């Protein structure tokens, strides 16, 4: 038994330290140093976690879709792709949930209500439910390959929701504001430190996502190995019984 | 700061959620690794 080091390596430990430092800097910039917005006042400080959260969820679900496509199209169909897809989907669900909660708190301050059945909010909630379903499908019985095949197909269907969520504010009349930075007119509406804090949040959350995926897919690899080992033991025991 | 409870509340919920998940992932990996062989852990 190898035993001691868990799912970490020196690289993931260094990455983890970098992420903690960046998140600390984000908290200082976002909650303290950056200016208040001329329209929204101090409530803009929620943006520095709300936007990176949904960004991370988009990246996570995008990676889930990409790995699923590679798995289905590959010749050897390595289960490693499926495990990265699963780990990424799980982390995406976490971040889209965070995005829904922080967005709802921001909405209470700016719109006067926690929730409205608006195009952006409703489509985001639907995205969340879809990927909870994806995680549930991964838990269904069968072999690892059966799990990989059915969850990959579902991931390729679910990924189609992301453009719908992102462009819902322009496709339909929405209470939710349009993009402040990546808007179609390419007109940046944030001042220097606000913009810096937002990008710091995007980079910090992206690196946090990478760190989480590395650890989670390794623990999934061990879960699969143990499951195989259990199956091997059961088959050996059954053969021994039959031979006795 | 105006609306401090909502602002710190949203940051707090984010920090707690991510930390709880990260700790769970690390502990799960550590627990599984105790029973794994070197061959099952190619990153070591």
**Helix %, strand %, coil % for chain A, to 5?**
75, 0, 25
How many domains are there within chain A?
1
pLDDT at residue A179 tops 80: no
The pLDDT, as a whole number, for residue A74 is 80
- Cβ pair A1:B36 closer than 8 A: yes
Q: Establish if A1 touches chain B: CB-CB under 8 angstroms.
A: yes
Residue B44: CB partners within 8 Å, gap ≥ 6? A2, A5, A9, B38
Q: Could you tell me if residue A238 is inside a domain?
A: no
Q: Could you tell me if residue A240 is inside a domain?
A: no
For residues A44 and A180, give the distance between their C-alpha atoms in angstroms, rounded to a whole number. Answer: 12
Interface test with B, best of A36, A44, A222, A227 (most B CBs within 10 A): A222
pLDDT at residue A185 tops 70: no
The pLDDT, as a whole number, for residue A139 is 93
- Intra-chain end-to-end CA distance of chain B, in Å: 48
| Comparison of pLDDT for A173 and A12, the residue scoring more | A12
- Cβ pair A225:B11 closer than 8 A: no
Q: Could you tell me if residue A243 is inside a domain?
A: no
Domain that holds residue A19: 15-34+43-231
Percent of chain A with pLDDT over 70: 91
Count the helices and strands in chain A (H runs, E runs). 8, 0
Q: Which CATH number characterizes residue A173's domain?
A: 1.20.120
A244 pLDDT band, cuts 50/70/90, is: low
A184 pLDDT band, cuts 50/70/90, is: low
Percent of chain A with pLDDT over 90: 66
Lowest-confidence segment of A23-27, A36-40, B22-26 by average pLDDT: A36-40
Maximal CA-CA distance, chain B: 56
Q: Could you tell me if residue A5 is inside a domain?
A: no
Q: Could you tell me if residue A216 is inside a domain?
A: yes
pLDDT at residue A166 tops 90: no
For residues B24 and A97, give the distance between their C-alpha atoms in angstroms, rounded to a whole number. Answer: 17
Q: Could you tell me if residue A59 is inside a domain?
A: yes
ipTM of the complex: 0.94
Nearest-by-CA chain B residue for A44: B7
The pLDDT, as a whole number, for residue A187 is 63
Which residues 72-131 of A have a C-beta within 8 angstroms of B?
A: 91, 94, 97-98, 101-102, 105-106, 108-109
pLDDT at residue A29 tops 50: yes
């Amino acid at each position: 038994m190898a035993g001691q080091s868990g799912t970490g390596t020196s690289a993931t430990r260094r990455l983890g330290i970098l992420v903690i430092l960046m998140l600390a800097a984000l908290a200082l910039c976002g909650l303290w140093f950056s200016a208040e917005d001329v329209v929204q006042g101090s409530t803009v400080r929620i943006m520095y976690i709300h936007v990176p959260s949904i960004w991370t969820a988009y990246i996570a679900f995008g990676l889930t879709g990409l790995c699923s496509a590679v798995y289905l199209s590959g010749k050897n169909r390595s289960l490693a792709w499926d495990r990265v897809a699963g780990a990424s989907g799980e982390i995406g669900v976490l971040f889209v949930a965070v995005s829904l909660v922080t967005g709802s708190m921001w909405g209470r301050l700016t719109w006067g209500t926690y929730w409205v059945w608006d195009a952006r909010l409703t489509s985001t909630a639907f995205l969340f439910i879809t990927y909870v379903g994806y995680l549930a499908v991964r838990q269904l019985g069968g072999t690892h390959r059966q799990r990989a095949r059915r969850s990959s197909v579902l991931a390729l269907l679910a990924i189609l929701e992301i453009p719908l969520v992102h462009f819902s504010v322009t496709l339909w009349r929405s209470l939710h504001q349009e993009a402040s930075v990546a808007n179609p007119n390419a007109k940046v509406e944030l001042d220097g430190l606000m913009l810096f804090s937002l990008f710091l949040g995007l980079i910090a959350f992206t690196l946090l996502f990478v760190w989480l995926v590395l650890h989670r897919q390794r623990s999934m690899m061990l879960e699969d190995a143990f499951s195989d080992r259990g199956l091997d033991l059961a088959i050996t025991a059954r053969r021994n019984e039959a031979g006795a | 700061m105006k609306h401090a409870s909502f602002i710190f509340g949203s940051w707090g919920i984010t920090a707690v959620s991510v930390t709880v998940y990260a700790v769970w992932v690390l502990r799960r990996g550590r627990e599984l690794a105790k029973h794994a062989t070197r061959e099952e852990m190619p990153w070591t």
